[in-house]
């Protein structure tokens, strides 16, 4: 019997802050596997800030979703019917972008990785053992050239990438500091080993607060947000500081418009600092290297991650808006089945 596939389709490209009615839920018959493919049913759907730029009418590093199409997204999923040799019913797979906001997807082996339950729980493959783990790893150790003793400032520190980056920096002998919206989020960061932090929604003068927190200046800025937090850190750089632009989540309501703030470019000269954009896709060949190390750290309990899970496909737009509003603590996911 044909299965019903509920899916979220994009209604329109979005210029300002997205809202719940930018997607509509539709029922379609689930496709049958063709030779060389399999049908998989989502256990967890990914929810991540990169999705914002995929629905904006702006230039990006990857193609966007067009109105009427199923919204882009990754998932951990279980194969329910297969015509791909070596891939059988019950196998668990993960895909970073190729699933979509839906219950079922037709996938090909080259578009997925296997989920090895010995390495971590299924949801970890959308977090520490997935793109976000690789992001924290390569942005810190490669682009950021992290050194022991570095004072590392991480924005969106209580989120998926941030919570990992802080712990990895500490393990590598550096001193991580957090910027997160609230004291409750900072408490979680301290539990993970961050030295201290700033609650950006509770602090009117970020630049001064940062000066008090890290008087020697920031050696490595792991920038997940852009916006006013970025401006404040640029006024507090240590000599030879590295600024790694990992994400711009604070621009969610004005993508494509100029990000206007105080301009402190002289600080770059004075500090002889370097600013570099980071894209995890550039490190694809080396992801397994990072995951092997991260899986060891996870197994030995040296790193921990927190998940923020909503239940039910119908909550996808809500979950996405939570991330853009900073309402998530830890990795945001939506669970469809267990
Ligand atoms: N370049 C790459 O290859 C790559 C790969 C993966 C992820 N990323 C980026 O890494 C960043 C973190 O991603 P994630 O998946 O770990 O998300 P996340 O941190 O779990 O969630 C996003 C967080 O962003 C913060 N935020 C939202 N609006 C903000 C605003 N206006 N000002 C300041 N902070 C705001 C919120 O934290 P607070 O409540 O603390 O403000 C929110 O919890 C994102 O920018 C993402 O695009 C980049």
Angle among Cα 172, 160, 63 to the nearest 5 degrees reads 115
Q: Which atom belonging to ligand 1 lies closest to the Cα atom of 330?
A: 20
DSSP three-state, residue 243: strand
Tell me how far apart the terminal alpha carbons of the chain are, to the nearest angstrom: 23
C-alpha 75/C-alpha 113 separation (Å) is: 11
| pLDDT tens-digit readout, 189-240 | 999 999 999 999 999 999 999 999 999 999 999 999 999 999 999 999 999 9
The pLDDT confidence band at residue 298, using thresholds 50, 70 and 90, is: very high
Longest dimension (CA), the chain: 69
Angle among Cα 83, 85, 86 to the nearest 5 degrees reads 125
Average pLDDT on 230-258 reads 95
C-alpha 10/C-alpha 67 separation (Å) is: 5
DSSP E strands, 92-131: 92-95, 104-107, 113-114
C-alpha 112/C-alpha 130 separation (Å) is: 12
Out of 9-18, 114-123, 259-268, least confident range:
259-268
Token pair for 249: 């989540």
Q: How far is the CA of 25 from the centre of ligand 1 (A)?
A: 26
C-alpha 87/C-alpha 184 separation (Å) is: 44
| pLDDT tens-digit readout, 12-27 | 999 999 999 999 999 9
Out of 1-10, 55-64, 255-264, 291-300, least confident range:
255-264
Q: How far is the CA of 5 from the centre of ligand 1 (A)?
A: 30
Atom 9 (ligand 1) nearest CA:
247
Q: Which CATH superfamily is domain 131-281 in?
A: NAD(P)-binding Rossmann-like Domain (3.40.50.720)
Which H or E run contains 126? none
Q: How far is the CA of 102 from the centre of ligand 1 (A)?
A: 23
Report CA Rg, the chain. 20
Q: How far is the CA of 247 from the centre of ligand 1 (A)?
A: 6
Confidence at residue 1, expressed as pLDDT on a 0 to 100 scale: 66
Atom 40 (ligand 1) nearest CA:
180
Q: How far is the CA of 157 from the centre of ligand 1 (A)?
A: 8
Give span(s): CATH 3.90.180.10, the chain: 4-126+305-335
For ligand 1, mutation pick of 74, 123, 159 (most atoms within 8 Å of CB): 159
Q: Which atom belonging to ligand 1 lies closest to the Cα atom of 48?
A: 15
Contacts (Cβ under 8 Å, ≥6 apart) of 233: 153, 155, 210, 218, 221, 223, 243
Q: How far is the CA of 287 from the centre of ligand 1 (A)?
A: 20
Confidence at residue 259, expressed as pLDDT on a 0 to 100 scale: 85
Which residues form the pocket of ligand 1, taking CB atoms under 6 Å from any ligand atom? 48-50, 131-132, 135, 156, 158-162, 180-181, 185, 224-225, 227, 229, 246-247, 249-250, 278-280, 323-324, 326, 328, 331-332
C-alpha 169/C-alpha 136 separation (Å) is: 9
Sheet holding 218-223: strands in order across?
196-199, 175-180, 151-155, 218-223, 237-245, 274-277
Please state the separation of Cα 308 from the chain's center in Å. 13
Using alpha carbons, list the distances in angstroms from residue 18 to 71, 163, 312, 325. 13, 25, 20, 10
Query: Is pLDDT at 338 greater than 80 in this prediction?
Result: no
Average pLDDT on 285-299 reads 97
For ligand 1, mutation pick of 224, 244, 309, 321 (most atoms within 8 Å of CB): 224
> Of 1.10.260.40, 1.10.275.10, 3.40.50.720, 3.90.180.10, which CATH number belongs to 4-126+305-335?
3.90.180.10
Confidence at residue 258, expressed as pLDDT on a 0 to 100 scale: 85
Place of tokens 């019913």: 89
Q: How far is the CA of 150 from the centre of ligand 1 (A)?
A: 22
Atom 47 (ligand 1) nearest CA:
247
Atom 22 (ligand 1) nearest CA:
323
The whole-chain average pLDDT of the chain stands at 96
Q: How far is the CA of 39 from the centre of ligand 1 (A)?
A: 31
Report the candidate in 338, 315, 321, 308 with the shortest Cα–Cα distance to residue 44.
338
Q: How far is the CA of 253 from the centre of ligand 1 (A)?
A: 14
In this prediction the pTM is 0.97
Between 131-138 and 287-299, two packed helices, what is the crossing angle to 10 degrees? Answer: 100
Query: Is pLDDT at 46 greater than 90 in this prediction?
Result: yes
Give span(s): CATH 3.40.50.720, the chain: 131-281
Report the candidate in 280, 207, 217 with the shortest Cα–Cα distance to residue 246.
280
Name the pairing type of β-strands 151-155 and 175-180: parallel
Query: Is pLDDT at 242 greater than 80 in this prediction?
Result: yes
Between 160-171 and 183-192, two packed helices, what is the crossing angle to 10 degrees? Answer: 40
Q: Which atom belonging to ligand 1 lies closest to the Cα atom of 281?
A: 3
Atom 18 (ligand 1) nearest CA:
159
């Amino acid at each position: 019997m044909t299965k019903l596939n509920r899916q979220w389709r994009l209604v329109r490209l979005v210029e300002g802050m997205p809202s719940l009615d930018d997607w509509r839920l539709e029922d379609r018959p689930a496709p049958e596997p063709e030779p060389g493919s399999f049908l998989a049913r989502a256990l967890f759907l990914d929810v991540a800030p990169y999705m914002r730029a995929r629905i904006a009418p702006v230039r990006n590093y990857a193609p966007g979703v067009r109105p009427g199409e199923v919204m882009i997204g990754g998932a951990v999923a279980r194969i329910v019917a297969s015509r791909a040799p070596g891939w059988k019913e019950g196998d668990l797979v993960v895909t970073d972008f190729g699933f979509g906001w839906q219950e079922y997807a037709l996938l090909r082996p080259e578009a997925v990785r296997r989920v090895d339950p010995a390495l971590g729980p299924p949801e970890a493959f959308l977090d520490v053992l997935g793109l976000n783990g690789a992001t924290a790893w390569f942005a810190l150790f490669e682009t950021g050239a992290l050194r022991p003793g570095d004072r590392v400032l991480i924005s969106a520190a209580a989120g998926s990438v941030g919570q990992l980056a802080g712990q990895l920096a500490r393990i590598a002998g550096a001193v991580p500091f957090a910027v997160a919206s609230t004291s409750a989020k900072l408490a979680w960061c301290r539990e993970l080993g961050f030295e201290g932090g700033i609650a950006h929604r509770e602090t009117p003068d970020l630049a001064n607060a940062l000066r008090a927190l890290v008087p020697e200046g920031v050696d490595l800025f792991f920038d997940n947000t852009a916006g006013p937090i970025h401006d404040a850190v640029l006024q507090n750089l240590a000599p030879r500081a590295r600024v790694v632009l990992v994400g711009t989540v604070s621009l969610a309501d004005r993508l494509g418009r100029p990000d206007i703030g105080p301009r402190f470019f002289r600080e770059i000269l004075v500090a002889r600092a370097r600013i570099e954009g980071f894209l995890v896709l550039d490190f694809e060949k080396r992801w397994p290297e990072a995951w092997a190390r991260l899986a060891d750290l996870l197994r030995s309990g040296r790193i921990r991650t927190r998940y923020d899970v909503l239940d039910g496909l119908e909550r996808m737009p809500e979950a996405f808006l939570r991330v853009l509003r900073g309402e998530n603590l830890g990795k945001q996911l939506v669970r469809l089945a267990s």
